[in-house]
């Protein structure tokens, strides 16, 4: 009989609580610091940009945090997401490895990011906020927040990294369809944006610049708060629905992973798939390897320094202890726009520093080669970001083949690539820029 290739949960199986890794960290995380004093950041100071409930989650060390019912109801538009076994890819690689992927591309925004956008919009709404400002790289977070704001009747302002705004117009059109206002960053809307445009008229923009613009917009518009799509503890927390569901689905599949893989930009989808499995390592005697994959041209975890740094270019955020390329690092205009962040989630960084997770980096060409093999075997066209994970999956499966041993691999397919087809064409026609 053929192996089962799809493991589906039903709506009632959507997790009732998020898993907070802070409760199980072997040593406490270094706190965020106030850059003015170098003292731990006072929560009240963050209330200018975040609602109280989100700040509480950011600081929480409670192991499980209940997901509000209205949030679960919106998540149920696409959750639980399927877990699939890639039998056709296994066959093409002629490997004894079993390869599973958790598919987050089924959300209306096409990626995992609405898992955090929805609760963030909801908590803001509860506290009377009318308008949310944010930045977006490739446009995935902007789409996710635009969608979430629409679900709860909030206004949404998005500063979109200029290179993506020009290369990926469909992302902007999707945001505008949901009713958001989108500005190419650096923009004329903020003082910081106007300054960068004067100093660097040809800049492709960066997430660091766009974050600075969104924060400035927030503090200069009453009734406005800010929402961040990755990096922070509460975002990683919200993404754990991915791994919590995957744990149940692997049980349905009757296997347990030897290795769990996710791509890492700011670290949230990796955290989402990995942390619930890491809990089983820390408290349940399991020995799953957890592997974060990043691009060679923005290698914070593999080549960055572990130190306190700003989250944005204008140095307006608290200082966070993380692997960083430096807050003024200007990554190239990579096709995987979602992986162009200079830093890494403090949770993921702390765990890497403790050697509880591993990291690896790949170049764009080998990543698109892997993505094309995946598309030609499994059918699904993955996002360039997710394709970094696929390259690592293929390497792991080939290593299992060399060893002649079974290896159970689970990875997060964080989004589909249907709005990235120009990048696939660049690969096919030999004109990838790196
Ligand atoms: C944004 C994005 C990423 C990277 O962000 P993380 O916070 O590291 O998860 C990865 N994949 C897709 C499809 C994205 O949209």
Q: What is the pLDDT of residues 421-430, one digit of tens each?
A: 999 999 999 9
**Closest to 433 in 3D by CA, of 263, 266, 327, 295:** 295
Q: Cα 407 from chain centroid?
A: 26
pLDDT-based confidence at residue 313 (cuts at 50, 70, 90) = confident
Please indicate whether residue 140, judged by its CB atom, sits closer than 6 Å to ligand 1.
yes
Domain annotation covers residue 158: no
Region 216-236: mean pLDDT is 96
Please indicate whether residue 114, judged by its CB atom, sits closer than 6 Å to ligand 1.
no
Walk across the sheet containing 259-263 and list its strands: 6-7, 83-85, 98-103, 408-413, 259-263, 289-295, 358-362
Q: Respond yes or no on whether the N-terminal peptide bond of residue 80 is cis (omega within 30° of 0).
A: yes
Q: Respond yes or no on whether the N-terminal peptide bond of residue 186 is cis (omega within 30° of 0).
A: yes
The Cβ of residue 57 has, within 10 Å, a number of other Cβ atoms equal to 24
Please indicate whether residue 113, judged by its CB atom, sits closer than 6 Å to ligand 1.
yes
Q: In the chain, what's the furthest Cα-to-Cα distance?
A: 66
Question: CB under 8 Å to 107, separation ≥6 — which residues?
Answer: 77, 78, 81, 113, 114, 115, 144
Which of 338, 344, 345, 387 is the best mutation target for the ligand 1 pocket, counting ligand atoms within 8 Å of the beta carbon and taking the most? Answer: 338
Region 313-332: mean pLDDT is 90
Region 2-13: mean pLDDT is 91
The Cα–Cα gap between 377 and 374 comes to 5
Note the pLDDT of residue 167.
Answer: 82
> Residue 56 burial by CB count (10 A; 0-12/13-18/19+): exposed, middle or buried?
middle
Domain annotation covers residue 171: no
Domain annotation covers residue 333: yes
Domain annotation covers residue 120: no
Residue 404 CA to ligand 1 center (angstroms) comes to 33
The Cβ of residue 243 has, within 10 Å, a number of other Cβ atoms equal to 27
The Cα–Cα gap between 295 and 299 comes to 6
Note the pLDDT of residue 264.
Answer: 98
Residue 253 CA to ligand 1 center (angstroms) comes to 26
Q: Is the dihedral of CA 113, 118, 119, 122 positive or negative?
A: positive
pLDDT in tens, 141-185: 999 999 999 999 999 999 999 988 998 899 999 999 999 999 999
- Which position has the token pair 């987050």? 104
Note the pLDDT of residue 1.
Answer: 56
Domain count, the chain: 1
Domain annotation covers residue 97: yes
Backbone angles phi, psi at 223, to 5 degrees: 80, 5
For the chain, the 3-state helix, strand and coil shares in percent, each to the nearest 5, are 45, 20, 35
Q: Is the dihedral of CA 117, 119, 120, 124 positive or negative?
A: positive
| Closest CA to ligand 1's atom 7 | 268
**Domain CATH number, residue 82:** 3.40.50.1100
Note the pLDDT of residue 333.
Answer: 73
- C-alpha Rg value of the chain to the nearest Å: 20
Question: CB under 8 Å to 229, separation ≥6 — which residues?
Answer: 113, 116, 117, 134, 136, 140, 141, 144, 145, 235, 266, 268
Dig out the tokens for 388 from the structure.
């970094």
Please indicate whether residue 264, judged by its CB atom, sits closer than 6 Å to ligand 1.
yes
Region 90-119: mean pLDDT is 98
Domain annotation covers residue 380: yes
| Closest CA to ligand 1's atom 10 | 385
Q: Are 136 and 159 in contact (CB under 8 A)?
A: yes
Please indicate whether residue 115, judged by its CB atom, sits closer than 6 Å to ligand 1.
no
Q: How do beta strands 408-413 and 289-295 pair?
A: unpaired
Percent of the chain at pLDDT > 90 equals 90
The crossing angle, in degrees rounded to 10, of helices 169-177 and 140-152 is 0
Question: Residue 384 sits in which domain range?
Answer: 6-15+68-110+234-429
pLDDT-based confidence at residue 101 (cuts at 50, 70, 90) = very high
Residue 225, pLDDT > 70, answer yes
Domain annotation covers residue 193: no
Domain annotation covers residue 104: yes
pLDDT-based confidence at residue 434 (cuts at 50, 70, 90) = low
Least confident among 217-221, 237-241, 306-310, 338-342:
338-342
């Amino acid at each position: 009989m053929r192996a089962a290739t799809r493991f589906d949960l039903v709506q009632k199986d959507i997790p009732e609580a998020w898993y907070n890794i802070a409760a199980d960290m072997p040593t406490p995380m270094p706190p965020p610091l106030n850059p003015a004093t170098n003292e731990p950041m006072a929560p009240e100071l963050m209330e200018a940009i975040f609602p109280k409930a989100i700040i509480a989650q950011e600081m929480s060390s409670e192991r499980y945090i209940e997901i509000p019912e209205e949030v679960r109801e919106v998540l149920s538009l696409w959750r639980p997401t399927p877990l699939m076994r890639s039998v056709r890819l296994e066959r093409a690689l002629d490997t004894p490895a079993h390869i599973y992927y958790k598919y987050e591309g089924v959300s209306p925004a096409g990626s995992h990011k609405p898992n955090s956008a929805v609760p963030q919009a909801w908590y803001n709404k509860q506290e009377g906020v009318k308008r949310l400002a944010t930045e977006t790289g490739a446009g995935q977070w902007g789409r996710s927040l635009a969608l979430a704001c629409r679900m709860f009747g909030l206004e949404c302002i998005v500063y979109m990294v200029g290179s993506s705004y020009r290369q990926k117009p469909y992302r902007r059109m999707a945001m505008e369809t949901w009713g958001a206002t989108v500005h190419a960053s650096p923009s004329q809307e903020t003082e910081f944006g106007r300054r960068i445009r004067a100093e660097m008229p040809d800049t492709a923009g960066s997430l660091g610049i766009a974050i600075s613009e969104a924060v400035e917009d927030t503090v200069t518009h009453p009734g406005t708060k800010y929402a961040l799509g990755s990096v922070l503890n509460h975002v990683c927390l919200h993404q754990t629905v991915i791994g919590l569901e995957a744990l149940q689905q692997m049980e349905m599949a009757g296997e347990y992973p030897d290795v769990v893989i996710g791509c890492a930009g700011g670290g949230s989808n990796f955290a989402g798939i990995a942390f619930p499995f890491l809990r089983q390592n820390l408290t349940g005697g399991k020995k799953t390897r957890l592997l974060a994959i990043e691009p060679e041209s923005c290698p914070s975890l593999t080549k960055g320094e572990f130190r306190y740094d700003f989250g944005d270019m204008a140095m307006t955020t608290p200082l966070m202890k993380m692997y960083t390329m430096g807050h003024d690092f200007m990554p190239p205009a990579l096709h995987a726009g979602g992986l162009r962040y200079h830093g890494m989630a403090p949770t993921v960084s702390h765990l890497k520093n403790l050697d509880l997770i591993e990291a690896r980096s790949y170049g764009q060409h080998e990543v698109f080669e892997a993505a094309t093999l995946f598309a030609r075997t499994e059918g699904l066209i993955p996002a360039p970001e997710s394709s970094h994970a696929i390259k690592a999956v293929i390497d792991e499966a080939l290593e299992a083949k060399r060893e002649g041993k079974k290896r159970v691999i689970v990875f997060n397919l964080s989004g589909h690539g249907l709005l990235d087809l120009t990048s696939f064409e660049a690969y096919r026609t030999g004109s990838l820029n790196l």
